[in-house]
Structure 1
Amino acid sequence: MSMQRLLSFEIGDERGSEELQAPCDASHGFDVLIRIVHAHGLPTADWWNGLADPYCLLAVHAGEQCIQYRTRTVLKDLNPTFDEFLEVGNLPAGACLKAEVWDKDLLTPDDVMGAAAWRFEPAAPNGRLPVRLPLAHPSRKQSSAGELKLEVHHRPSRAPGTPRLLGPVRFRQQFSPVSGLLMGRWNDDNTLAYSTSKLFLVHIEDVFEGVSFPWNRKHAAAARIYQSPVLLSGVRTQHATLYATHLGRCRCGVLGDHNSLFALFHCGVRGGQRRYFTYSLLADSFRCSETGAGFATDMMSKHAMHAGGAEEVLYAGEFCILPDDTAPGGHRLVLDNNSGTFAPSAAHLPTLARLFAANFPELRIETVPVGDPRLDEYHRQCPSRSKLSAAAAAAAVAEEPGGAAQPANGTPPLEPQQLVSPTQCTKLLRRGARQKGGLVVDLSGAEPPLQGVLHGQFRLEASEVAALMEEHGLGEDELLARLIQPAAQQARPPISAYHVGAVGLGASGCLYVGVNLEFARLPLYNSVHAEQFLLVNALHHGETEIRRLAVSAAPCGHCRQFYSELACAETVRFTFGGGTYSLGQLLPMRFKPADLLPAPAPPLLLQPQNNAIQLTGAARAALRERGGDAAFARAAAEALAEATGSYAPYSRCPAGAAIVTGEGHVYSGGYIESAAYNPSLPPLQTAIVDAVIDGMPCYTEATEVVLVELAGGAVQHAPTTRVILEQIAPQARLTVLQAEWAAGAEPALS
């Protein structure tokens, strides 16, 4: 049995090249590396944008064997570059490769865009075959469906064997919001979801050849399930729900090494506590999820659920990830055979360790059979694995005087080696605890944030962005993700203490920062969301398009609707939680400007606006009365300019505001409307954004606010502006200057 990987063959490593010269017997078949390069000329699949979200399915058929592989989905592209590979061992000449390109849909079944087939016929023992496959649609035979490009490398297999997948090690994680809600399971990325994982390990059938374990007839809980068609059907339904890829969020990828394995499970830590995981090993994958006392863990067999109700598995048990200074990556994987449902023999724990070593050569592995004292110690380190009463008792002991030291926020003490997101406090905050400035959301992933880059700035020039990317070797998405936490530290959330950061790139190449603003003693609807802040920031700097932005957590519906006002709404991309999404995916059936505005539509948000308004005679007289007040005159001019450039296509009530400080500084902003009305942003809030960007430390520095709005307009901002100022800047004077449409400029009602 050969477990040799083709990675050195793929990248042309010198040692791999020497190995290729060793004598081989082609009668054993071929080790084949198939690189999926790209597709081009794909047909339109999404009628609303004229594009598609393609992914590729490959199926390698050799006799009764079928090896399948799926690429990632490339969003909004008819010429996608996949650049992924799979390795197949002992593939016979004449094997058939079938390729299909599909369009990913969110609410409806995926659609096939084109298909092709190719037969593997090596011309020489070792070689490279460039393959171009014309794609044909299964029902539209006369039209071209584009082309798929592959590269096929091959060499004779070194030992006999059946065709099998050699790599890469792929994973898929499914996130179930419903189960998360029922279990109250908050994740470190501030999502409420229960997750399951599938690791498509290679060599499973080779390593566990002839080894399997049926359900344990001596285990009462297992007998109740497997001897009852109703309960067994419930277990299978539970499996289908938790492993579904269409009922919640799903992500997939490749695990390149042991570090990526640790990162997938957040180094075994959630909410600042060590976690245990239940697993079942089947012929196709290693399936697992976090275990503990709660719904869907004790009501039925966890191992039977992961197995999909199968009556036998190759192996089953639990695992955890522990800190280990001497191990590569600083952690080790601890595997046990703790499964009453299948009761696998401890004699095959080394077999499981061998499987993981074959997939992750540098991984440090510890096996602990049931009954070993080490297992009890590891369980004690994980209170959540116990019953709820035991977990509560452990927490109570830690809070007693003389007990384990507690951080000020009340969370359990952390081991020095744990990688813990600051969002460990999320659950406490949501239960009513309040820590002023105490929570910073960090969704930047395993990579450390880039501290000391922003220095309190809310905008970086394109040249600075390019220099940062070159200095740190980062792409655009990576740079944005690693600036989220430094950005969030500039937020002002006195009510929730929940810091949110947003970092975006404009078409100019400049980088913009957004943070959330809350106002003490005022209703929450007066707050400014980080994504809104970012747009106002870009607007104030003359940016006309936002290309992509990374945010601390999934944008709320409020912000998704707000971004629908952009002319670039179809092309802007949102990155959070390890995925990148279009607005169409986040809000597929949204209420758009076109639903209210007449055709042709006026300029949209970030596009130049020109509301032809002027101050009324009474307002001009008020200006003349204060002719010697230069700061007031400047504030009035800026407020009028902001009103002229404000975005108010629905109410036709443009408005602008300017804040004057005791030192004579002036900050201004204009009204921004939304087709859904509620997400609209009043002019005072946009002026506050301008003040925060410029570094105004406290709202009480404002001495006067000048508001320009339409006389007799259907929307009046003066009453709410006065209420807000009474709470955040009670000493500030509010001066309202009324405006009117210039002759012949008043827009007609549609």
Structure 2
Amino acid sequence: MADLQVEVMGKDEGVMDDYIGKFTLSVTPGTKEVEIEGTVFKIVMGTFWIKIESTPSQDKHRLQFPYLFDGPIHYSRHYSPAVGLLTNFNDAWLYSTFIKGVPLFFRNNFQLWNRKGPASFAVRPGIQAGHRLLYARAAGNAFGIIEDTKGVVELLHTGAQDDVSGGGGPNAQRRVKPAVYTYIISAEDASFRFSETGAAFFVDFASKHALHSNCAEVVRYSGEFHPRPEGGWQNFGDFTPDDPVKWEFMIDNNSGTYAPDKMLLPEVKELFEFNFPGLVVRALDREDERLVESREACRAYALKWRGVRTDELQLHVREGEVTLCRRVSESGQQEMKRAKDNFT
């Protein structure tokens, strides 16, 4: 029988949240009351009520993978007001979905932190603080369930802020944004986390993938992807509505932080097609000329037809703006000073 381990945190306005305690319980069905155990002398910090509902699995792999996540595919879209306030940036959207069947496709394969990469252990505390701030729960975040291919495509609409559960929200006039995204598939919780590669909050951070993974030593996979209409953006007319278009995901292994094995790209393709039936996925090595051509066509289309400026395709800071990395550093110094003052 499996156990569920829960850590309880107190949400603060700053970069760091207070640790309240933890508890462990079995996953047997029913309503349970458990005590939250603190770290100091294991003092009881409160009680927690939880109800567990269990349904027998019908999956053919249930004996081989008895605790395999089988959906539904929840998504969350993060936009922290604190990030916008701290950095003056508007392009602060991050996305996270829980995907099914990760162990079925990757088995025992994990991608290790590249020791020769740009992000060393010395910079981890700052990156982890940035991760907590970016993925923090906030009133501006959106949550829902992706039930079909149309839902995952509409998640990538320009300025999309509506529920895409069941295949899309009410804003049919929104268009799929021609953009390149940085992604990781987490080894910790099988989540697929991504954001635009040129997002301003990446400025001054040594690794975009590490910011998404919270500096995890291993991930299932990482790289970049971009959506495109069938045949590529170079063959698409902006007068064509998005709905009848057959959309494709071009996904790769472009990650210096984890240097993913290109031999696993077929498994990446199968994983996403398993989660989003009907979505055409093309998984190519980062040096494949077909990938490079498709990515550049995506960016060229954004510049010509969607009003994107050249500087928006690269990491940049406008005059008078302060980077998230700097703000995280300043906030950490202020919290250390407050802790020192309280101690003395």
TM-score range, shorter chain: 0.5 to 0.7
Alignment CA distance shift 1:112-1:338 (3 Å): same
C-alpha separation between the residues in 1 aligned to 2:244 and 2:287? 28
Per-residue deviation, 1:217 = 1.9
Structure 1 residue 379: Cα displacement: 3.3
- In 2, distance between residues paired with 1:260 and 1:362? 12
Q: Does 1:197 align with 2:136?
A: no
Report deviation, 1:354.
Answer: 1.1
The one-letter code sitting in structure 2 at the alignment partner of 1:158 is K
Instruction: Say yes or no: does 1:258 pair with 2:149.
Output: yes
Three-state SS of the structure 2 residue aligned to 1:370 is coil
Whether the aligned pair in 1 keeps the contact of 2:92 and 2:199 (CA below 8 Å) is no
Q: Which residue does the alignment assign to 1:168?
A: 72
Q: What SS class does the counterpart of residue 381 from structure 1 fall into? A: helix
Once the two structures are superposed, residues 318-344 of structure 1 have per-residue CA deviations (whole angstroms, 9 ceiling, x without a partner) of 011001179985210110000001100
Seen in structure 2, the aligned counterparts of structure 1 residues 267 and 259 have a Cα distance that, compared at 3 Å, is farther
Give 5+ residue unaligned stretches, structure 1: 1-61, 68-93, 102-110, 121-151, 186-191, 384-393, 395-403, 405-410, 415-419, 426-750
Aligned to 2:220: 314
Q: Could you tell me how far apart the structure 2 residues matched to 1:169 and 1:281 are?
A: 14
Deviation at 1:381, TM superposition (A): 3.0
Q: Deviations over 1:234-279 (max 9, x none)?
A: 0100110000013x51111110011100111117999996211101
Q: Which runs of 5+ in 2 are unaligned?
A: 7-25, 34-45, 161-173, 233-242, 310-344
Query: For residues 112 and 309 of structure 1, do their structure 2 counterparts lie closer, same or farther at Cα, with a shift above 3 Å needed?
Result: same
Could you tell me which residue of structure 2 aligns to residue 652 of structure 1?
Answer: none
| CA distance in structure 1 between the partners assigned to 2:146 and 2:273 by the alignment | 13
CA 1:99–1:239: 2 relative to 1, 3 Å: farther
3-state SS of paired residue (1:167): coil
C-alpha displacement of 1:382: 4.8
Once the two structures are superposed, residues 30-85 of structure 1 have per-residue CA deviations (whole angstroms, 9 ceiling, x without a partner) of: xxxxxxxxxxxxxxxxxxxxxxxxxxxxxxxx424679xxxxxxxxxxxxxxxxxx
Deviation, 1:412, is: 4.1
Query: Could you tell me whether the CA contact under 8 Å between 1:279 and 1:319 is conserved in 2?
Result: yes
CA contact (8 A) 1:325 1:331 kept: no
What is the correspondence of 1:335-350 to structure 2 with a 5 Å cutoff? 335-350=251-266
Count the aligned residue pairs: 251
CA distance in 2, matches of 1:258, 1:170: 14
Q: Alignment RMSD, CA only? A: 3.7
- Once the two structures are superposed, residues 168-193 of structure 1 have per-residue CA deviations (whole angstroms, 9 ceiling, x without a partner) of 111111102343456654xxxxxx35
Matches of 1:268 and 1:332, distance apart in 2: 20
- Say if 1:297 and 1:95 are closer, same or farther in 2 by CA, change over 3 A: same
Matches of 1:214 and 1:314, distance apart in 2: 9
Equivalent positions of 1:80-95 (< 5 A) are none
CA separation of 1:358 and 1:156: change in aligned 2, threshold 3 A? closer
State the TM-score, normalizing by the size of structure 1.
0.30
The answer as to whether partners of 2:31 and 2:52 remain within 8 angstroms in 1 is yes
CA contact (8 A) 2:224 2:253 kept: yes
| Residue 193 (structure 2) pairs with residue 302 (structure 1) | no
Contact 1:169 1:201 in 2 (8 A): yes
Structure 2: how far apart are the matches of 1:378 and 1:307? 26
Counterpart amino acid of 1:338?
Answer: N
Name the amino acid aligned to 2:116: K
Distance of aligned partners of 1:346 and 1:183 in 2 relative to their CA distance in 1, 3 Å threshold:
farther
1:249 partner SS:
coil
Q: Which amino acid aligns with 1:282?
A: S
User: Residues of 2 paired with 1:345 and 1:214: CA distance?
Assistant: 10
Aligned twin of 1:215: 113
| Aligned mates of 1:260, 1:237 — CA distance in 2 | 31
Percent of aligned positions that are identical: 30
What residue is the counterpart of 1:235 in the other structure?
127
Cα distance, 1:295–1:63 mapped onto 2, change above 3 Å: closer
Which residue of 184, 193, 196 maps to 1:280? Answer: 184
State the TM-score, normalizing by the size of structure 2. Answer: 0.63
1:413 aligns with 2:300: no
